[in-house]
Amino acid sequence: MTTNKVCYTEALGAAPCVRLGCGHLTHFHCARDKIEAGYSSTRISFAFMECALCREAMSHPALAEQLSPHQALASDVTRMALERLRFDHLEGDIA
């Protein structure tokens, strides 16, 4: 069985790990630190909530508390963007 891992600085056995919803393994502290670091600039981007290998949204019960406020913000931003598209009559431009 091939195991894909996210952290490349230390062996998976060196610290507690979680299997993300996408199936990739990562150290719990690496995922938590990535989430807590948040955006790297003033531009809102939610890439820090994605698996480093496949870019699927990170999900695991142990990360739910850290992810929850960011997921709420992402949902609000999406809702506001869709409202703006409707206001500008650009609904057909939604990809």
- Structurally, the chain folds into a number of domains equal to 1
Is residue 58 one of the residues assigned to a domain? yes
CB-based contacts of 3-8 (< 8 A; 24+ apart in sequence): 4/53, 6/30, 6/31, 6/51, 6/52, 6/53
Which domain, by its residues, includes 64? 12-93
CA pair distance 90, 21, nearest whole angstrom = 34
Write out the two tokens for 27.
């150290």
10-residue averages of pLDDT along the chain (95 residues): 57 86 92 88 88 93 96 94 90 70
